[in-house]
Structures are given as structure tokens and as C-alpha cells.
């Protein structure tokens, strides 16, 4: 049943794209406006779905998902014509009269596979880019966030052109079937392991991909005129302030499911790791709750220091000098983000030039996600490709080069049969040696 | 059983027999730098069959057997010797390891290093021009002028552009910040990816090897170049000169064919840049997927030329002829592959092309020194097969002559071959030019769009409306109006394909970008604290947050005084 349903959807999407309907400014704007209305009218339901899937508090749901998508929509609506316009490029005078430009065009039918931690944001933010660029699209939300996935499947068709934008729900087998088809681009957010599978499948059809993966994002926490203990206590205090004395009582995002709960629990089970816990550590499997936990110098070869944590455990590694953190980070796989809390300008410069990561943020966390003039994407094991803001539009566009010549000027030296005279002419042309060209042309220059 | 790649022009294998004892001995000569050795296919059991097949299609393995290669084979069989590839996975791994160390030392990141390497490269091209031309002559019978224009000048121009612009390219790009992320500045910093692999092809073996390498060096990477063994003279020239002129602790050349490439593809690279065909492109991307390595694939396709009747026929015929036959004799990724024109105009066009051909190459093109030959026997048989297909051979209206010994096929024009013929489905990559006629020229847009997206599409017309429709409706890597192949020379335009013709682009600054990671950097100060971001979350915080996001000053004030907007 699923098989037929996917094939039929693909056909419909290709038809829609072929009809050129998705290319018009009017269509793109109507879809973007439709999404905006969806977010406004259904905000409460979105919050509820996120609460159900992962226990995400409303402020986080707004700040990290709804607001981000809204911002993308507002920006795209405001800038769409500008982004769609072709851009003239400079062409050397020697080629006169020639004009060159780059024309952005949609790629065709694209696939967006998103992850469960930010189920709305990671599904719909890329979709904004896909639509703005004029493509037909399929969104495959994560099955690990079923309420969000169902919400999107049930509601998007009421606000968008559902012959050109579809939500296809499902797990591994549906994803496999989708990956078997020919797409014009795939944007995948998730783990490196699945990223490899996606790219291998894409290779069969020469489909370009964007892989938004993860990694271990380090935060370098400089002295800032306070001792180590002071800093750890500050952290503990802030946790208390944010979550109260009994964090289980207040609204805090849950662990997504039993599998991840058990994964995090087994990370802490390692005796050397357990011994390094200095705050928190309590867990409640029934409610999928893990307390904000701080660890002090767990062994560097333990899972907690080699695998991406993706949970509320924060190991602190202390070093002799803060500059040692640069070597520490650059000897490990490139992360999606590096955070540095410091006033030391030299350290800042060194981090930028001596480490590699998707992004670097000084004196804050996560906020780089919101600034859409910055590309969002990884490097190395944290992925490749980027989006957000105009980068989303570009991610789903082909920049077509267009060169125009006229019939007016003709130079015989450009044609065979070849001889020395023509060679001299061409040498001069390539060195932009206009004087030599002129002399050769009028027959005054012989060598 | 055959022996793999064709014998290199300079003797690298010496076989001798020890007189009466009849004991054959095999001596190997060759530099330790990785010049390839003849390898009997049998012993390389571990390399993937599919790769071997694809490479065979590329023309690697069906050369007429030379006397020496047959003798070597007999000797090896007698000895029961199985030849190990000189450059295998172990060598590849240790080469990458060395390059990673070199890159980690930071030397390739400095502006000075990059500039010095590019300067040396430019010196090399200028000082060794005659050697380069000779190698291209040997590999492809490429006329000197073609070599000069298309390979040497273009490479020099790329170097010069880098020398002029690199400082500017290396500067971080400021990014605008917003009210939501107050008290901060942001920029995008270009950094090298690390250790990259460039796999090049045989038709423009010099340019297509060095142009990407120039981009890789300009972006501060360490790089391995794997030139095509189908152009062996150029390959060994590149190996020799790059070692001589450049910093080999960061720039290496690996010669060879299937097994060397496989060994290279098994390693983890920070980027792979491949020029070639779609079959091998898929293999490269799948190998890259194992390590999550991003790729640029510069592939090919059937680049169509639409010819309107409203043109300057004389000039158009010249430009089309140059694009097709004076560019490596049609063996170019952007060479016009086939023509689309109206039924009524076709005869005039054919006549114009015929007379232009005669002006350029004389009455008997086989005597002209200005035509590249077909690169090897494998491609020769491939092309003659296209011509000899049933219902195709009778559509020849000009040319068709061939000479296998000299690897010559005459410039050939065909009229209205069947749409399901091989010649209309495979990329031709040779001097055969089919013309498909339509009733109305607009039909040609649908025709092109029904096929895989090509690397280029050309249109000859004076009609501005037709031009507009063409740009609007035809999708290809790049479009050119009223000329052919020139898009290669304008480095302010990205050069690359879409769909089946590839992914990614390069030339000019695009080369620098292709081998760079654009790192987002954001600076915040410790001022401008927004407690609204922190738990415990309250409805008031939510309203304030909303107002902040919308840059809604009034909303912010209202939220702050406790009377939030609804």
C-alpha cells in the first residue's frame, strides 16, 4: 500500500513541477503565506504536539521552532523577488559585446528528512527554502515525534498546494522507499550513520545532498576572573534558578523515548563516569526524566567523551591552560558549533584560525541558529551544505550561468586553419594586451 | 585477458631473457613517485568489477596489444607472478596521513604559501610551454593553437586571477546582525577544508587537472591530483613538474588507473573533485558517502544547439564549427552534441556547415593538421558503432569516412536520425553531429527538457523573445546565446552541471569557494542580557520573546510593563 502511495505522490509532484506552476512568484508567495497562517492559527496545537512528543516547554517551542520558521517566512516573503532576480556579472572587455548573468532556478522535486529533536523547525524551515526557490517538495518528519508528524500530515494539506507539497509519514521502510526514488535534492538532518545511508542512496541518482549532522559541540569556558569551583557553583546556581530545587516538578523537556533514555543511562553507568558526577544524576524511567547533570573530568575515552551526548549531561574537562582547549578540540572530529566564553581577544583569534567547525560563537550559545545572515551547517563529520535565510533559497536553487553574444563582432583569428599570425593574436588577447591586438589587427605588428 | 592501461610512451618495463638458460627476468624502471606499472587484471581480484567495467568503457583496456606487453604477459604467466599494484590502499593511506600532518602544521593556510605555490605553478606553465604542447600533441594530436588557447592560456589566467584576488577572497565577509541577537557582530570566515582529492580526465588533461588544483591551493588545502591515464604523456608531465615546482609535502600526484583510483577513493578526504562521466561519478559519490565527504562532480551530457533561421548564418556556422570540431574534435564536455533546427532551415544550415568545414580543414580533413584525433581505439570503435547503427548510417549527409590506424573520423553531419538511436541517447564526445528537425523552433525546448539536463545548451538567434523563452524554459548547467564553448572562459560565471550533468561549480572565485568551508562566526558581548531566554518560563516571557523576535518595539514595551499583546 505504502509503495503505491509513494509512487503516486512522486508522479503528482513531478507533474506539478513540470506544469511550471511552482515557479511563479504568486504561487511561492501564496504557499509561504499559507505556512504563516498555519503557524498563527495553529500555534496552540503545535505547542501541544511538542509537549506530547517531547515535553518541550512553550517558550522553547516558540523560541526554537515557531519563531525560527516565522522569521524565515517573513524574510523570504520580503526578499523573494530580489532573490529570484538574475544577477549580472562582469565580463572582460576583450569579449565585448558579451553580457553574462546568473539565473537562479528551482531544482525540481526535493526531499526533506528531519529529526525528532526540533520536529517542526527542522521540517518546515528547510521547506520554506524549498518553496521560496520554486520547488515541489516532500517532508518526511521523524517518526520518533509522532504527534508533530501527524500534525504536519493532517494540517499542511489545508494550507498548502498539496499536489506540490506533501508530508509523507513513516519510519525506516518508508524512508528507504523514498530514498530509492530520484530526487533533485535531499536535505537530511540527523545522525552521521543515517547520513551515510542517505548520501549512498543519493549517489545512485547523482542527487546533490545537504547533510546536517551533529557532533560534540564544545564550550570553552575561560577563567573570566573566577576559579573553577566558582564557575561550577555558578552553573549549579543557574540550574536551580531555572528549574527550582526539584526539577522534576517544573516543565522541562523529556528524553524523547526509552531507547534514548537507556542510552543516556548506560553512559552514566560506567563507574568512572558515575564517580565524576558533581551535580544531579537522578533519573526517572517512567517519566523519561533525567536531571540536569554536571560531571567533572570523566575519562576521555569513555562514551560520554567520545559519543555525541544529546541529553542533559554536561561533562567539564579541566586543562592547565585555557589555550590547551584548542589542541583538544582540533584533535577531535569537527563539531557543528564551538562556543567560547572569554574576553581574551588572542584566544578568540586562535580559536577561529586553529580550529574547524560549522560555526563559532563567542560568549553565548545556540543564538547563532537565529541569525539568518549566517549560514547554518557543518563541516567534516558534522555534515556539509548550509541553509537559513537566503542560504535556504540557494540550497534549493540551481545557479544557471547565461552568456549572451551578438553577431556584430567577428574575429577571424579565432578560427582554423591555424597559423602563427593567429597564434600571436590570441596570445595578445589572452594577456589583455589591447595595444598589441590593435597593432596586429591593423598589420603593424609582426612579432 | 588483457593488460590494463596502454603502455606508457617512455619505457618503464624492460624484459630480457637470460640467454640459453631461457630464464626470463623482468626489470622495472620507473621513479618511486608512483608512475604506474602494467598490471594484469587477474591479480587485482579485490578491486570492484563495476569500477573496472566503467573504466573499460572509458577506454582503458581494449588497446591493440603491443609486442612488448604480450611478451611481458607471457613472462609473468610463466613465472606465476601476480603483479601487485605499486600504489595500493596502504600507500594511499600513508600518503593521506602525511598530507594531514602537513595540513595540521598550518603551512598551507598562510597567504604567503598559497601565493608562492600559485606563482611557481605560473612559472611552470610559462617555462614548460613547449613540453606541455608536445605532451598534448602526443596524447591527443591536439593542434598547437588549441592547446595554447584552451589549456595553457586558461591555466595561466586562473593563476593570475588568484594572484590578483586572493587577499580579497581570504578576507572574512561581514554579516548583518539583528535586533533579536542584539549586541553582537557576525562574519563568515573562509577556511580550507583540509586534504582534498582531484580526479581529472583525458580530453583537456592539463587544464582539467590544474584548474581545480589551483582552486584547492588558493583555498589553503593540501591536495592529491590523480590525472587520467588515457592521456599518459600529460599525466607523467604533471607528475614530474608538479613535484619539481611545488611543495610536495602538501601537493602530490598519483598516476595510474583503476586500482590506484580505488585505493585513493577508499581514504577519507575533506573534498573530492571529479571530472568525468556519470557512471564513475556515481561510484565516486558512493565512495565519498562512506566518509561523509562532500563532492563536486563535473560530468557531461548532450549539449544541444538550437539554430533559428533568423541569424547571421555565416558567423553562426563558424562559431558552431569551432565549438564542435576545433575543440578537441568534439571530445569536450561542453562541445555542441546535436543540433535542433526547423525543417525548412536545415538544408541551408547543412550547406553552411559544409563550406565552413572546408574553409577550416580543407577538402580532405584527414590531411589537416588542425584536427585532434580520436583519443584511443576504444573510443574510435565506440564512435563508429554509433555511426554504423541501423537506420543511422543512411542519415549521413556529410563525412562518415574513418581510418582506424590513424584514429581518424571525418567531421560527420547526420540528418534526422531516429530518436531512440544510440547516437541520440549517449553523449557523443566525438566529431559526429546529428541534426534533428522540428516544425516550430519552440518544440525544441520540450525536446531538450525531456532528456537529462545537459552541461550546456546553446541557441543561435536574433529574436529576443525566443532568447527569453530559452533562458526561462531550458535547464542546463549554463546557457550560451550566439556562440559556443565561450562560457568556459568567463570566470565570473560558475561552471558546473545540474542533475545528470553534475553538482557543484568552479572557475574564478567559485573554485576558491568550492574548496573552502564557510565558517559562521558570531560575537556577543556580555552586555545585552535577555532574562526572557531563561527558565523558569512564564507567559510574560513568552510574549516578550515574541515581541523581540518580531523586532516589535511597542510589543516589547507592553510585555515589559505586564500588558502583553495577544
Q: If contacts are CB pairs under 8 Å, which of residues 95-114 in chain A contact chain B? A: 95, 98, 100, 102-103, 105, 107-108
| Confidence band of B34 (pLDDT split at 50, 70, 90) | very low
Residue B528 has pLDDT above 90, yes or no: no
Environment class of residue B446 by beta-carbon count within 10 Å: exposed (0-12), middle (13-18) or buried (19+)? exposed
Residue pair A199/B293 in contact by the 8 Å Cβ criterion: no
Query: Ramachandran region of residue B80, left (φ > 0), alpha (ψ -120 to 50) or beta?
Result: left
pTM above 0.90, yes or no: no
Mean pLDDT of B500-505: 97
**B333 an active-site residue?**
yes
Long-range CB pairs of B387-390 (<8 Å, 24+ gap) are B387/B412, B387/B423, B387/B432, B389/B421, B389/B422, B389/B423
Phi, psi of B186 (to 5 degrees): -145, 150
pLDDT digits (tens, 9 = 90+) for A317-326: 999 889 999 9
At A379 the pLDDT is: 97
| Confidence band of A202 (pLDDT split at 50, 70, 90) | very high
Residue pair B211/B158 in contact by the 8 Å Cβ criterion: yes
Instruction: Inspect the interface and report whether the beta carbons of A242 and B535 lie closer than 8 Å.
Output: yes
What ipTM does this complex have?
Answer: 0.93
At A239 the pLDDT is: 86
pLDDT digits (tens, 9 = 90+) for A402-438: 999 887 766 666 788 888 878 777 777 777 666 666 6
**B17 an active-site residue?**
no
Mutation for testing the B interface, residue in A401, A422, A426, A428 having most B CBs under 10 Å:
A401
Residue B61 has pLDDT above 60, yes or no: no
Residues in chain A within 8 Å Cβ distance of B514: none
> Percent of chain B, pLDDT > 70?
81
Phi, psi of B562 (to 5 degrees): 85, 15
Count of A–B CB contacts within 8 Å?
A: 262
Mutation for testing the A interface, residue in B493, B501, B551 having most A CBs under 10 Å:
B493
Asked if the C-beta of B50 comes within 8 angstroms of chain A's C-beta atoms, the answer is no
At B122 the pLDDT is: 97
Mean pLDDT of B297-315: 95
Query: In sequence order, which residues have a C-beta less than 8 Å from that of residue B112 and are 6 or more positions away?
Result: none
**Residues paired with residue A234 on neighbouring β-strands, in sequence order:** none
**Nearest alpha carbon to residue A292 among B535, B542, B545, B541:** B535
Torsion A69-A73-A79-A84 (CA) sign: positive
Give the C-alpha separation, A374 to A376, whole Å.
Answer: 6
At A441 the pLDDT is: 64
The nearest alpha carbon in chain A to B278 belongs to A206
Mean pLDDT of B1-8: 38
Mean pLDDT of A289-318: 92
Torsion B433-B436-B440-B443 (CA) sign: negative
- Average pLDDT of chain A, as a whole number: 91
Which of A55-59, A227-231, B261-265, B380-384 has the least mean pLDDT?
A: A227-231
The nearest alpha carbon in chain A to B494 belongs to A401
Query: Which triple of cell numbers denotes residue A383?
Result: 555534515
Instruction: Inspect the interface and report whether the beta carbons of A102 and B493 lie closer than 8 Å.
Output: yes
Largest interatomic CA distance in chain A: 93
More confident residue, A211 or A237: A211
Which DSSP helix (H) or strand (E) runs through A427? helix A420-430
Mean pLDDT of A91-112: 88
Mean pLDDT of A105-127: 97
Instruction: Inspect the interface and report whether the beta carbons of A211 and B494 lie closer than 8 Å.
Output: no
Phi, psi of B382 (to 5 degrees): -60, -45
| Confidence band of A185 (pLDDT split at 50, 70, 90) | very high
Instruction: Inspect the interface and report whether the beta carbons of B480 and A402 lie closer than 8 Å.
Output: yes
Residue A446 has pLDDT above 50, yes or no: no
At B83 the pLDDT is: 46
Torsion B382-B388-B390-B394 (CA) sign: positive
Q: If contacts are CB pairs under 8 Å, which of residues 418-477 in chain B contact chain A? A: 462, 467, 471, 475-477
Give the C-alpha separation, A345 to A329, whole Å.
Answer: 18
At B74 the pLDDT is: 55
Instruction: Inspect the interface and report whether the beta carbons of B145 and A203 lie closer than 8 Å.
Output: no
Which DSSP helix (H) or strand (E) runs through B113? helix B111-127
For B542, the closest of A62, A243, A405 (CB atoms) is A62
Question: HSE on the CB side for A289, CA within 13 Å?
Answer: 14
At B82 the pLDDT is: 44
Mutation for testing the A interface, residue in B107, B136, B292 having most A CBs under 10 Å:
B292
Residue A367 has pLDDT above 80, yes or no: no
Give the C-alpha separation, B173 to B187, whole Å.
Answer: 5
Q: Provide the 3-class DSSP secondary structure of residue B35.
A: coil
Q: How far is CA B415 from the centre of its chain?
A: 30
Which of A346-355, B148-157, B457-466 has the least mean pLDDT?
A: B148-157
pLDDT digits (tens, 9 = 90+) for B477-497: 999 999 998 888 888 999 999
Task: Find the catalytic residue in B298, B363, B389, B442.
Answer: B298
At B565 the pLDDT is: 62
**Residues paired with residue A315 on neighbouring β-strands, in sequence order:** A295
At B343 the pLDDT is: 96
| Confidence band of A276 (pLDDT split at 50, 70, 90) | very high
| Confidence band of B64 (pLDDT split at 50, 70, 90) | very low
Residue B451 has pLDDT above 80, yes or no: yes
pLDDT digits (tens, 9 = 90+) for A230-251: 888 888 888 888 887 776 666 6
pLDDT digits (tens, 9 = 90+) for B120-178: 999 999 999 999 999 999 998 888 888 887 899 899 999 999 999 999 999 999 998 87
Instruction: Inspect the interface and report whether the beta carbons of A100 and B492 lie closer than 8 Å.
Output: yes
Mean pLDDT of A347-376: 90
Long-range CB pairs of A245-251 (<8 Å, 24+ gap) are A247/A291, A247/A292, A248/A284, A248/A287, A248/A289, A248/A291, A250/B535, A250/B536, A251/A55, A251/A57, A251/A58, A251/B537
At B8 the pLDDT is: 38
At A95 the pLDDT is: 66
Residue A77 has pLDDT above 80, yes or no: yes
The nearest alpha carbon in chain A to B476 belongs to A400
At B66 the pLDDT is: 47
At A65 the pLDDT is: 94
Mutation for testing the B interface, residue in A85, A98, A198, A373 having most B CBs under 10 Å:
A373
Report helix, strand and coil shares of chain B as percent, to nearest 5. Answer: 45, 15, 40
Residue B348 has pLDDT above 80, yes or no: yes
Residue B25 has pLDDT above 70, yes or no: no
Instruction: Inspect the interface and report whether the beta carbons of B537 and A416 lie closer than 8 Å.
Output: no
For B498, the closest of A211, A398, A426 (CB atoms) is A398
Residue B455 has pLDDT above 90, yes or no: yes
Instruction: Inspect the interface and report whether the beta carbons of A199 and B480 lie closer than 8 Å.
Output: no
Give the relative orientation of helices A121-132 and A25-41 as an angle to the nearest 10 degrees: 160
At A423 the pLDDT is: 78
Which of A436-440, B521-525, B534-538, B543-547 has the least mean pLDDT?
A: A436-440
At B47 the pLDDT is: 40
At A422 the pLDDT is: 80
At B18 the pLDDT is: 33
Which of A7-16, B147-156, B345-354, B372-381 has the least mean pLDDT?
A: B147-156
Environment class of residue B58 by beta-carbon count within 10 Å: exposed (0-12), middle (13-18) or buried (19+)? buried
Residue pair B545/A63 in contact by the 8 Å Cβ criterion: yes
| Confidence band of B540 (pLDDT split at 50, 70, 90) | confident
pLDDT digits (tens, 9 = 90+) for B351-364: 999 999 999 999 99
| Confidence band of B32 (pLDDT split at 50, 70, 90) | very low
| Confidence band of B431 (pLDDT split at 50, 70, 90) | very high
Amino acid at each position: 500500500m505504502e509503495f503505491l502511495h509513494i509512487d503516486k505522490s512522486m508522479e503528482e509532484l513531478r507533474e506539478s513541477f513540470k506544469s511550471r506552476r511552482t515557479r511563479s512568484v504568486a504561487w511561492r508567495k501564496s504557499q509561504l503565506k499559507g505556512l504563516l497562517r498555519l503557524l498563527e492559527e495553529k500555534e496552540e496545537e503545535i505547542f501541544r504536539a511538542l509537549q506530547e512528543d517531547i515535553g518541550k516547554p512553550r517558550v522553547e517551542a516558540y523560541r526554537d521552532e515557531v519563531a525560527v520558521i516565522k522569521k524565515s517566512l517573513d524574510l523570504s516573503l520580503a526578499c523573494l523577488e530580489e532573490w529570484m532576480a538574475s544577477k549580472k556579472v562582469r565580463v572582460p572587455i576583450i569579449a565585448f559585446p558579451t553580457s553574462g548573468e546568473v539565473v537562479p532556478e528551482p531544482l525540481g522535486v526535493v526531499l526533506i528528512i528531519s529529526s525528532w529533536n526540533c520536529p517542526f523547525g527542522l521540517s518546515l524551515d528547510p521547506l520554506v527554502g524549498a518553496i521560496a526557490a520554486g520547488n515541489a517538495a516532500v517532508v518526511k518528519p521523524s517518526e520518533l515525534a509522532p504527534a508533530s508528524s501527524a500534525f504536519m500530515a493532517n494540517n499542511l494539506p489545508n494550507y498548502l498546494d498539496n499536489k506540490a507539497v506533501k508530508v509523507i509519514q513513516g519510519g525506516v521502510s518508508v524512508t528507504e522507499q523514498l530514498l530509492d526514488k530520484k530526487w533533485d535534492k535531499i536535505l537530511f538532518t540527523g545522525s552521521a550513520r543515517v547520513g551515510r545511508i542517505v548520501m549512498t542512496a543519493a549517489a545512485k541518482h547523482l542527487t546533490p545532498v545537504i547533510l546536517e549532522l551533529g557532533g560534540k559541540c564544545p564550550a570553552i569556558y575561560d577563567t573570566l576572573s573566577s576559579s573553577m569551583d566558582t564557575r561550577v557553583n555558578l552553573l549549579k546556581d543557574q540550574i536551580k534558578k531555572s528549574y527550582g530545587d526539584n526539577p522534576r516538578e517544573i516543565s522541562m523537556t523529556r528524553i524523547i523515548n526509552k531507547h534514548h533514555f537507556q542510552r543516556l543511562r548506560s553512559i552514566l553507568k560506567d563507574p568512572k563516569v558515575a564517580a565524576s558526577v558533581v551535580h544531579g544524576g537522578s533519573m526517572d524511567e517512567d517519566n523519561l526524566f533525567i536531571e540536569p547533570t554536571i560531571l567533572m573530568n570523566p575519562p576521555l575515552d569513555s562514551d560520554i567523551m567520545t559519543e555525541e551526548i544529546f541529553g542533559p549531561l554536561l561533562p567539564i574537562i579541566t586543562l592547565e591552560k585555557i589555550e590547551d582547549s584548542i589542541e583538544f578540540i582540533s584533535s577531535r572530529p569537527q563539531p557543528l558549533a564551538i562556543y567560547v566564553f572569554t574576553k581574551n581577544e588572542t584566544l578568540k583569534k586562535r580559536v577561529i584560525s586553529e580550529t574547524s567547525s560549522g560555526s563559532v560563537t563567542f560568549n553565548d550559545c545556540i543564538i547563532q541558529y537565529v541569525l539568518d545572515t549566517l549560514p547554518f551547517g557543518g563541516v567534516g563529520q558534522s555534515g556539509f551544505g548550509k541553509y537559513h535565510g537566503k542560504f535556504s533559497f540557494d540550497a534549493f536553487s540551481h545557479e544557471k550561468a547565461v552568456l549572451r553574444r551578438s553577431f556584430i563582432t567577428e574575429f577571424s583569428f579565432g578560427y582554423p586553419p591555424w597559423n602563427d599570425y593567429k597564434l600571436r593574436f590570441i596570445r595578445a588577447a589572452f594577456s589583455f594586451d589591447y595595444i598589441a591586438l590593435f597593432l596586429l589587427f591593423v598589420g603593424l605588428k609582426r612579432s | 585477458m588483457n593488460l590494463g592501461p596502454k603502455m606508457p610512451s617512455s619505457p618503464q618495463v624492460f624484459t630480457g631473457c637470460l640467454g640459453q638458460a631461457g630464464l626470463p627476468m623482468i626489470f622495472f624502471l620507473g621513479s618511486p613517485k608512483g608512475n604506474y606499472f602494467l598490471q594484469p587484471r587477474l591479480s587485482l581480484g579485490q578491486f570492484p568489477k563495476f569500477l573496472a567495467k566503467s573504466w573499460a568503457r572509458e577506454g582503458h583496456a581494449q588497446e591493440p596489444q603491443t609486442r612488448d606487453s604480450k611478451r611481458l604477459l607471457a613472462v609473468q604467466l610463466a613465472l606465476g607472478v601476480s603483479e601487485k599494484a605499486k600504489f595500493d590502499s596502504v600507500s594511499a593511506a600513508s600518503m593521506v596521513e602525511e598530507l594531514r600532518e602537513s595540513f595540521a602544521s598550518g603551512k598551507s593556510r598562510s597567504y604567503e604559501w598559497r601565493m608562492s605555490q600559485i606563482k611557481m605553478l605560473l612559472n611552470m606553465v610559462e617555462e614548460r610551454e613547449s613540453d606541455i604542447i608536445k605532451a598534448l600533441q602526443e596524447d591527443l594530436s591536439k593542434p598547437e593553437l588549441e592547446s595554447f588557447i584552451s589549456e595553457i592560456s586558461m591555466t595561466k589566467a586562473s593563476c593570475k586571477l588568484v594572484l590578483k584576488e586572493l587577499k580579497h577572497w581570504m578576507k572574512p565577509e561581514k554579516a548583518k546582525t539583528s535586533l533579536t541577537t542584539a549586541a553582537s557582530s557576525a562574519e563568515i570566515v573562509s577556511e580550507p577544508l583540509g586534504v582534498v582529492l582531484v580526479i581529472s580526465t583525458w580530453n583537456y588533461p592539463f587544464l582539467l587537472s590544474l584548474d581545480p588544483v589551483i582552486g584547492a591551493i588558493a583555498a589553503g588545502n593540501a591536495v592529491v591530483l590523480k590525472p587520467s591515464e588515457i592521456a599518459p604523456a600529460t599525466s607523467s608531465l604533471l607528475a614530474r613538474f608538479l613535484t619539481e615546482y611545488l611543495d610536495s609535502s602538501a601537493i602530490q600526484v598519483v598516476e595510474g588507473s583503476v586500482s590506484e583510483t580505488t585505493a585513493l577513493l577508499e581514504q577519507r578526504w575533506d573534498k573530492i573533485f571529479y571530472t568525468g562521466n556519470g557512471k564513475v561519478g556515481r561510484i565516486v559519490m558512493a565512495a565519498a558517502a562512506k566518509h561523509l565527504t562532500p563532492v563536486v562532480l563535473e560530468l557531461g551530457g548532450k549539449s544541444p544547439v538550437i539554430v533559428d533561421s533568423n541569424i547571421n548564418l555565416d558567423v553562426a556556422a563558424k562559431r558552431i564549427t569551432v565549438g564542435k570540431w576545433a575543440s578537441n574534435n568534439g571530445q569536450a564536455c561542453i562541445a555542441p552534441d546535436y543540433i535542433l533546427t526547423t525543417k525548412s532551415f536545415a538544408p541551408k544550415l547543412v550547406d553552411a556547415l559544409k563550406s565552413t568545414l572546408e574553409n577550416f580543414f580543407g577538402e580532405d580533413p584527414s590531411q589537416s593538421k588542425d584536427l585532434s584525433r580520436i583519443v584511443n581505439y576504444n573510443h574510435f570503435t565506440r564512435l563508429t558503432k554509433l555511426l554504423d547503427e541501423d537506420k543511422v548510417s543512411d542519415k549521413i549527409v556529410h563525412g562518415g569516412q574513418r581510418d582506424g590506424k590513424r584514429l581518424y573520423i571525418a567531421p560527420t553531419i547526420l540528418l534526422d536520425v531516429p530518436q531512440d538511436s544510440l547516437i541520440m541517447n549517449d553523449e557523443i564526445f566525438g566529431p559526429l553531429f546529428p541534426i534533428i528537425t522540428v516544425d516550430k523552433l519552440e518544440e525544441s525546448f520540450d525536446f531538450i527538457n525531456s532528456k537529462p539536463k545537459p552541461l550546456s545548451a546553446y541557441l543561435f538567434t536574433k529574436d529576443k523573445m525566443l532568447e527569453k523563452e530559452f533562458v526561462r524554459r531550458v535547464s542546463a548547467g549554463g546557457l550560451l546565446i550566439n556562440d559556443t564553448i565561450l562560457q568556459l572562459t568567463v570566470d565570473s560565471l560558475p561552471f558546473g552541471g545540474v542533475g545528470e550533468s553534475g553538482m557543484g561549480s568552479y572557475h574564478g572565485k567559485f573554485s576558491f569557494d568550492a574548496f573552502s568551508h564557510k565558517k559562521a562566526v558570531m560575537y556577543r558581548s556580555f552586555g545585552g542580557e535577555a532574562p526572557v531566554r531563561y527558565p523558569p518560563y512564564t507567559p510574560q516571557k513568552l510574549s516578550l520573546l515574541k515581541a523581540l523576535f518580531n523586532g516589535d518595539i511597542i510589543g516589547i514595551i507592553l510585555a515589559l510593563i505586564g500588558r502583553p499583546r495577544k
